[in-house]
Every structure is written in C-alpha cells, then in structure tokens.
Amino acid sequence: MHHRRRSGLCRDQDVFVIALRVNGRDVELDSPTPLLAYLDELGVNSKAVAVELNGVIIDRDSYPTTLLNAGDVVEIVRMVGGGRVGASSPPAVP
C-alpha cells in the first residue's frame, strides 16, 4: 500500500516513487522521467501530440530534456487532422 504525501513522494517499504497527474489521472513513476521516455513508454508518437506541463506548452525539441517530477500536472493532447464540423472529440491519451 502506498501512503500519499502532499510532496508527491510515496513510500512503500523503503521504495520511493513520485506521484504526478497526467490528463487528470494520478500516475506514479519510479524516478524523475524524461518526457520523451514517458511518451515512448505509453506508445505515444511524440510528433503527434502537444504537451502542457504545469500550465506551459513544452516545445517538442525539449521533450528529451524535460523531466517529469513529483507534483507535476501534465496534459497530453493528440493532434487531429481534418476539421469536419461536428466531428467527435479525439480519444483520451492515457
């Protein structure tokens, strides 16, 4: 069982993880993680998404060096082509 703390750190038998929020969901990572590595882990094409980190849009060239840390709030939005009026919303990214 993980014990959540406001700092975003969790402790379970001397194992620490960082807690953050991605697209409205609580996520735990083993350590600060480069954004590009996280997108790869999700199977998300980094060229097909826009990423907002703590309210700031991240330049795609910065994905490899941008670290996801405890307490971060991340929004990942898929780019959708087309533009048909009345088209449904794109599926949520995990």
In a domain, 59, yes or no: yes
How many domains does the chain divide into?
Answer: 1
Contact (Cβ atoms closer than 8 angstroms) between residue 70 and residue 20 = yes
In a domain, 54, yes or no: yes
Q: What is the pLDDT of residues 39-92, one digit of tens each?
A: 999 999 999 999 999 999 999 999 999 999 999 999 999 988 766 655 555 555
> Which of 38, 56, 55, 36 lies closest to 47 in space, CA to CA?
36
Q: What is the mean pLDDT of residues 4-19?
A: 60
Q: What is the mean pLDDT of residues 18-42?
A: 96
Q: Amino acid letter at 92?
A: A
In a domain, 92, yes or no: no
- Here the CATH number for the domain that contains residue 65 is 3.10.20.30
Q: Is the pTM of this model over 0.85?
A: no
> Which phi and psi (to 5°) does residue 19 adopt?
-110, 135
Please report the pLDDT score of residue 9 as a whole number.
54
In a domain, 24, yes or no: yes
Which domain range does residue 57 map to? 3-78
In a domain, 89, yes or no: no
Please report the pLDDT score of residue 11 as a whole number.
53
Q: How far apart are CA 77 and CA 38, in angstroms?
A: 14
In a domain, 50, yes or no: yes
Place of tokens 């840390």: 69
Give the least confident one: 6-20, 22-36, 39-53: 6-20
